[in-house]
Amino acid sequence: MTLLKRFVAETEKSEGHTHILLITTGSVASIKAPLIVAELLHYQNVKIEVVSTKASLVFFDAADIEKAGSRVWKDEDEWTGGYRIGDPILHIELRRWADIVLIAPCSANTLSKIAHGLCDNLVTSLLRALSPSTPTYVFPAMNTLMYEHPLTTEHLRIVKEVVKYQVVGPIGKNLACGDVGLGAMTEWKDIVQIVVDKFSLVRKAETR
């Protein structure tokens, strides 16, 4: 039997905490998600929730995220059936909760959806409903030719100039597909560092 997961922003928010929403999409770089979560949880007063597309769930084990002390939210958690007026709506509650959103990695597909305003899964519904005042970082990760595709250039322009997200990377290296070039996600430790610096997070004493 699957347990019904419920999330209400008001009860999940903790005073004085930084609420980090990590979005993972269908790039191999999603494999780094458990590392990002575990590392961020080594800092004081941090809460982190992970929202994943169906494709990204192939690349890591949600149990590893749960073991680290976080949760993974999927499309099925949004569509539980039996909705009644007043029930919490997952994508709205998650965006209400977030102090910062990291889309790490951001696939070419999700990048395109953001640029076009599509909202056909939990990730993109959440992003479409997100307040423009919530800092949102995009870490593209894709094959070099996908990255160099003129459509990607245009989608990145829209995401930066119209949607006003911060785009970081990609970086150049040997890609998982065997190609060498630009397209890899920014190093996961550098992603963590962006959050640490932004919120002046302090590491827990026992993990120094």
Helix or strand or coil: residue 153? helix
Site track 102-131 with ligand FMN (rule: CB under 6 A), x = hit: -----xxxx---------------------
- Whether the CB-CB separation of 40 and 192 falls below 8 Å is answered with yes
Is residue 138 at the binding interface for ligand FMN, with CB under 6 A as the rule?
no
- Position 56 contacts ligand FMN (CB under 6 A): yes
User: Which residue, judged by CB position, is nearest to ligand FMN in the bound state?
Assistant: 26
43-52 b/e with 16+ CB inside 10 Å = b? beebbbbbbb
Q: What angle do CA 47, 51, 57 make, to 5 degrees?
A: 125
* Joined tokens for residue 27: 């790039």
Residue 68 sits in the site that holds ligand FMN (CB under 6 A): no
Taking CB under 6 A as the binding criterion, the range among 22-30, 39-47, 62-70, 126-134 that sits at the site for ligand FMN is 22-30
Which of 55, 62, 89, 171: binder of ligand FMN (CB under 6 A)? 55
Q: What does the CA dihedral 51, 56, 58, 59 come to, rounded to 10 degrees?
A: -100
The reply to whether 144 sits near ligand FMN by the rule CB under 6 A is no
Positions that interact with ligand FMN (CB under 6 A): 25-28, 53, 55-56, 107-110, 141-142, 146
